[in-house]
Amino acid sequence: MILKTPEEIERIRESALIVSQTLGMLASEIKPGVTTIALDRMAETFIRDHDGVPGFLGLYNFPNTLCVSPNAQVVHGIPNDIPLQEGDILSVDCGVLKNGFYGDHAYTFPVGAIEAEVAQLLAVTKESLYLGIAEFKANNRVGDVGHAIQQYTEAAGYGVVRELVGHGLGAVMHEAPEMPNYGRRGRGKQFKEGLVVAIEPMINQGTKRIKQLKDGWTILTADGKASAHFEHNVAIVNGQPELLSTFDYIYDALGIQSNEEAPFRKNTSQ
Ligand code: MG
Ligand code: MG
């Protein structure tokens, strides 16, 4: 795994910030009637206006700026001209390349009013993300993060996707180590100062099993039940997890109050 200097971490933070702002911009646009291709175009324009390059566009030949995955789609959905409907959920994953480094994170948005059971899936998945982040510190191991996410989400009766995982992040979008959302405490590679990763639980309301559409990209749940995806970019600084991404732009747009990121914010008191 590639450990980053403080200067490199700041560059990743800059790219991650553009992703955070892009998701915040989209938060106001995601509503019944809008198409995901329209969201994709807004995101591409926004990123280029902020001197970034869409990180997913052309990566492994992916055709768009955003991965947009509604309802039973887990990840890697391709934008299209089907309007969103009241009661949908939409997972939006976005990457930005700037100054040679990537940012990459994701949020699952409700479209209008959603079923209480689906809202619970979103809440639990996002909570599990922070439980995983809390374990991302010097001398802990890959399995500690995965274990925290798996234990919390499985206790709620959900399925943890096995085939897709988080990853190291830097000059390459997907670096070592792989960061599964399941695992055993104390197992796997050990974390060190300067490591930067994307932690990204992909949690299914029902079965953990998935299938893929013939488009070669879209991953969806095998049972057709909903799936949620929340992703943050995190560095180990002074031995502790420090967020490089933020959902605050989303919360500002949606009028949500949250202190969830406070324990992992950059320490500015020094
Ligand atoms: Mg992502
Ligand atoms: Mg990722």
Q: Which residues, 6+ apart, have CB-to-CB distance to 123 below 8 Å?
A: none
**In whole numbers, what is the pLDDT of the chain averaged over residues?**
97
Residue 102 Cα to ligand 2 midpoint, Å, equals 10
Residue 75, in any domain of the structure = yes
For residue 134, pLDDT beyond 70: yes
What value does the mean pLDDT take over residues 20-49? Answer: 98
**pLDDT category of residue 268 using cuts at 50, 70 and 90:** low
Cis check: omega of the bond before 177, within 30 degrees of 0: yes
Distance 93 CA to ligand 1 centre (A): 5
Task: Identify whether 42 is part of a domain.
Answer: yes
Residue 267 has pLDDT above 80, yes or no: no
- Residue range 157-167: mean pLDDT, rounded: 98
Task: Give me ligand 2 centre to Cα 32, in Å.
Answer: 27
Q: Is the pLDDT of residue 257 over 60?
A: yes
Please tell me the distance from the alpha carbon of residue 250 to that of residue 139, in angstroms, as a whole number.
32
Which amino acid does the sequence have at 163? E
* pLDDT of residue 185 exceeding 80: yes
Any domain includes 268: no
Confidence class of residue 116 from pLDDT cuts 50, 70 and 90? Answer: very high
Domain that holds residue 165: 6-259
**C-alpha span between 160 and 146 (Å, rounded):** 10
Q: Give the per-residue pLDDT at 239.
A: 98
Nearest ligand for residue 173 CA:
2
Instruction: Round to whole Å and give the CA distance between 185 and 143.
Output: 5
Domain-embedded: residue 121: yes
CATH of the domain at 66: 3.90.230.10
* Ligand located closest to 181 CA: 2
- pLDDT > 90 in the chain, percent: 98
- Which protein residues have a CB closer than 5 Å to ligand 2 (ion)? 104, 198
Confirm if 26 and 72 have CB atoms less than 8 A apart: no
Task: Show the DSSP H helices in the chain as ranges.
Answer: 6-27, 36-49, 116-134, 142-155, 248-254
Task: Classify residue 269: in a domain, yes or no.
Answer: no
Ligand with smallest separation from the Cα of 169:
2
In this structure, is residue 182 part of a structural domain?
A: yes
Number of independent structural domains in the chain: 1
User: Could you tell me if residue 270 is inside a domain?
Assistant: no
**170 CA → ligand 2 middle, Å:** 11
CA of 255 to the centre of ligand 2 (A): 26
CA of 104 to the centre of ligand 1 (A): 5
Length of the chain: 270
Is residue 198 one of the residues assigned to a domain?
yes
C-alpha 5/C-alpha 7 separation (Å) is: 5
pLDDT at 270 over 90: no
pLDDT score for 36: 98
pLDDT score for 269 = 57
Distance 185 CA to ligand 1 centre (A): 25
Report CA(269)–ligand 2 centroid distance (Å).
Answer: 30
